Amino acid sequence: MAPGYRRAIVLALSLLLAAGLGRLFPDPTDWLDAQLGDLAWRLNATAQPEERIVLIDIDESSLAQLGPWPWPRARLAELARRLAEAGVQQQIWDIVLDAERADDAKLAAELRAQGAVLAAAFALPGQGAPIATGRLAPQPGHTLPCTAPWPEAQGQRAPAPAFAGLRVGHIAYRVDRDGLVRAIPAYVCRQGQAYPALSLAAWLAMTKARAVRLIAADGPWSPPWRLEAAGLPEAIPLDARGHLIVPYGRQPSAFTAISAADLLAGRVNTARLSGRIALIGSTALELTDAVATPFAGAQGGLLVHAELLAGLLDARLPAPPTHARVIALGLLLPGLILLWVAAGRLTAWSLPALAFAYALLLLGLQLILLPRGLALAMSGPAAALLLAGFTLAAFEHRLLAGEARRLLAHLESLLPPRLVRRLAGEPPGGELAAELIDASCLVADIRNFTAWSETRTPAEVAALLHRYFTVAHAIIDAEGGRIEALEGDAILALWRADATADHPARALAAARALQARIAPLLPTADPAAVPPPMALGIGLEAGPVLTGLVGPRPRRQHLALGQPVSRAVRLAALTAELASPILIGPQLYARLDAATRQRLVSRGEFLLEGMCQPCEVWSADERA
C-alpha cells in the first residue's frame, strides 16, 4: 500500500481514537472550552459606559446608613416611587419579597403602577432544599407549556401573596463544575407553569411580546432552540439545554451603580435615571447574592442579570449552531489535509508543531466568534488534531526507520557492514575515511571468463556471476570473512585480525571450499577448445591493509589497498602459469601453524608483475 494511503488511514484512526476518548473523558475539553470562553469575554469586554441600564445597589454603605436587611416595605416603596419620579423606563427587582410584612400593599401598589418585574428563587435539582415560600401566580401575557428543555424546580421562594399579578422572573443560575455562572435557564417550570429568567421577563415586558413560542432548530447554523414572539425585535437564541448564555460583553465597571441610600437621601441627579432600566439588587456580601463570573470569583448576581439584559437589548446573545460538531469537523478537516500533505515533505517531528499551530488557530477562532454570537467548542477538534499530529509523526518515524533499515541492508550488500554502521553515525564528507587493519586477504578470479562471455548472452553471464557470488559469500561468511569488493568476475575478501584470531587458517579454508564448490558451477569444455575452459584461481596473503572510502563527496569509492592486496591479485593470476588453483604469499604462510605449513608445497621465488622484490610462493596442493 502506498504511503499516502497509509497516512490517510493513520489520520482516520487517530480521529476515531480522539472521538472515543472525547466520549469517555469529556471533562478536559469541556473545561478548556469554558476557560476559552471566559478568556474571550475578558479580552473583548468593553469598558464603555452602559447608558441604558442603571444598577440601584443596596450596598454595604446603604446597609450601614439605613440599617440591616430586610428593610421595611415602606422604604422599598419609597425607593420604587423615587425611581418612577426620575423617569425610569422599567424597574427590575432582583430581590425576593417572599415574606409577608407590613406595608406589602403599599409596595405592591407602587410596583404595579410601574409594571415592575419581581424575582423568584427556584431550587433546581441538586441546587437547594425543596422549600416553598410565597405564592406563584399565573403570568400575564407570555406563558409557555412545561415541556423539554425546561428544568423542573423542586422548590421556590416566590413573592408574597400581596404581589400577585406582577410579572415574575426566576434567578436560578446554571452553576458549572468550576463554580462559575455562564448561563441561565431561559425558563424554569414549577407547578405546571414556566417562568422566564428575570432579565428575559423584563425584556418580554418592555417589548410587549405576545404568544411566546419555543422553536426547534431548522438549519445547520441556527441555534438548537430559539424563542419567538409577536413584538420581539429578534428571536432569542438558546443552547441545547434551553439556557441563555450570558454575554459578558461589558466590564463590571461599565455599568452605572447608584447607592440606594444616596437615592433615598436625594443625593442623586435624577437626570441620570431618566429613560433608563433600573435593576434593583445588592452587592453586599451579607445578602449572600454573590456568584463567580469570568471577571471575579465573587460578584453580585445583579451584574449577571445586567449583562444578560444588555445582551438582550443588543440582540447579541451567543448560542452554538445546531450542527456544531459537523461544523467543527469541517474546520478540522483542512488541518488533517494539511498534515497529510506535509507528511513525507517535512521532518516527522515537524508534524506535531504544524498540528499545534493549526490547533491554536482553531482555539483563536473560538475566541473571536464567541463575542460575535457563535459559540463553537473547538477544544475537542484541537485536541484531535494534536493527537493526529503526534500519531502521524510516530508513523512517519517508524516509516523512516523502516526505510533506513532497508537502505542500510542494501548498503551492507555493497560495502562492509562495519563501514556501513560507522558511516550511518557520521555526516557525509569528502575527507579520506579509511583505517589500517591487519588482515588476511583472498582474491578469487575466474580465468578465461571474458573469452567465454563473448559467446554468451548478458543474461547467461549475469546468471553465472550471481551463482558464483552467492556461493562465495556463503563460504566466506561461514569462515568469518567479509567480501570487500566485487570487480567483474573477481572477489576480494578480508579476514580482520581483530575479529578472527586464526584468520590465516580461515582464509585458507575458505579458498579450498571455494575451489570445491565453484568448480562444478563453471561450464566444462575440452582444454584445447576455443575459448579455453574456465577455472578459478585464488591468491592468499596477509599483512597491513588500508580499507575505507576515498574520493570527493559526490562520488565516493570503497577501496582496500596495501601490499597483501596487490600480492594476492598477482598470485591469483599466477595460478594459471603454475597450474595450481591456490597460491599463498609469504606473510600468510608465516602465520599458519607448523602442521599446516608442512603440507604446503613451495613453488619457488617469483618476481610478481609490478612488484620490486621477489617473494616465495606456496601452493595449497598438499603433499602426499
Per CATH, domain 432-619 is 3.40.640.10: no
On whether the CB atoms of residues 209 and 232 are closer than 8 A, the answer is: yes
Domain boundary assignment for the chain: 3-20+323-410, 52-138+151-192+245-312, 432-619
* Closest alpha carbon to 205 in 174, 172, 173, 165: 165
Task: Please give the mean pLDDT across all residues of the chain.
Answer: 87
CA distances from 161 to 113, 170, 457 (A): 17, 17, 115
Q: What is the largest CA-CA distance in the chain?
A: 142
Give the residue-averaged pLDDT of 331-342.
91
On whether the CB atoms of residues 324 and 366 are closer than 8 A, the answer is: no
**Is pLDDT of 438 > 80?**
yes
Predicted pLDDT of residue 2: 77
**pLDDT band for position 617 (50/70/90)?**
very high
Strand ordering across the sheet containing 225-230: 210-216, 225-230, 236-238
Number of neighbours of residue 345 by Cβ within 10 angstroms: 7
CA distances from 126 to 130, 153, 175 (A): 10, 10, 11
On whether the CB atoms of residues 279 and 55 are closer than 8 A, the answer is: yes
HSE-CB for 331 with a 13 A CA cutoff: 22
**Strand 582-584 vs strand 615-619: parallel, antiparallel, or unpaired?**
antiparallel
Residue 559 bridge partners (DSSP): 548
Predicted pLDDT of residue 624: 38
Number of neighbours of residue 265 by Cβ within 10 angstroms: 12
**Is pLDDT of 278 > 60?**
yes
- Mean pLDDT is lowest, of 176-180, 221-225, 274-278, 520-524, for 520-524
Look up residue 536 and give its amino acid. Answer: L
The counts of H helices and E strands in the chain are 18, 26
Long-range pairs, 188-193, Cβ under 8 A, ≥24: 188/122, 188/124, 188/150, 188/151, 188/152, 188/153, 189/146, 189/150, 189/151, 189/152, 189/153, 190/122, 190/136, 190/152, 190/153, 190/156, 191/136, 192/146, 193/136, 193/138, 193/139, 193/143, 193/146
The torsion region of residue 121 among left (phi > 0), alpha (psi -120 to 50) and beta comes to: beta
Predicted pLDDT of residue 245: 95
**Strand 132-133 vs strand 167-170: parallel, antiparallel, or unpaired?**
unpaired
Q: What is the DSSP string of 19-49?
A: HHHHHH--HHHHHHHHHHHHHHHHHH-B-S-
Predicted pLDDT of residue 527: 56
* Closest alpha carbon to 145 in 194, 201, 187: 194
On whether the CB atoms of residues 229 and 204 are closer than 8 A, the answer is: yes
204: its cell numbers: 418580554
Predicted pLDDT of residue 480: 92
Euclidean distance between the first and final Cα of the chain, in Å?
63
**Is pLDDT of 530 > 80?**
no
What are the two backbone dihedrals, phi and then psi, of residue 238, each rounded to the nearest 5 degrees?
-130, 160
What length does the chain have? 624
Cα four-point dihedral sign 248, 252, 253, 257: positive
528: its cell numbers: 584445447
**pLDDT band for position 50 (50/70/90)?**
very high
pLDDT in tens, 218-234: 888 889 999 998 888 99
Predicted pLDDT of residue 429: 61
Number of neighbours of residue 489 by Cβ within 10 angstroms: 21
Predicted pLDDT of residue 590: 93
Give the residue-averaged pLDDT of 15-34.
86
Number of neighbours of residue 216 by Cβ within 10 angstroms: 11
HSE-CB for 578 with a 13 A CA cutoff: 26
Quick check: helix, strand or coil at residue 171? coil
Predicted pLDDT of residue 416: 65
Q: Give the position of cell 415602606.
A: 74
On whether the CB atoms of residues 317 and 311 are closer than 8 A, the answer is: yes
Predicted pLDDT of residue 622: 56
Predicted pLDDT of residue 131: 80
Predicted pLDDT of residue 258: 94
pLDDT in tens, 473-517: 999 999 999 988 888 889 999 999 988 889 999 999 999 999 999
Tell which wins on pLDDT, 119 or 418: 119
pLDDT in tens, 343-379: 888 888 899 999 999 999 999 999 999 998 889 999 9
Tell which wins on pLDDT, 353 or 427: 353
Query: Could you tell me how far CA 377 lies from the centroid of its own chain?
Result: 16
CA distances from 597 to 300, 354, 558 (A): 107, 70, 33
Residue 374 bridge partners (DSSP): 319
Number of neighbours of residue 527 by Cβ within 10 angstroms: 7
Tell which wins on pLDDT, 287 or 134: 134
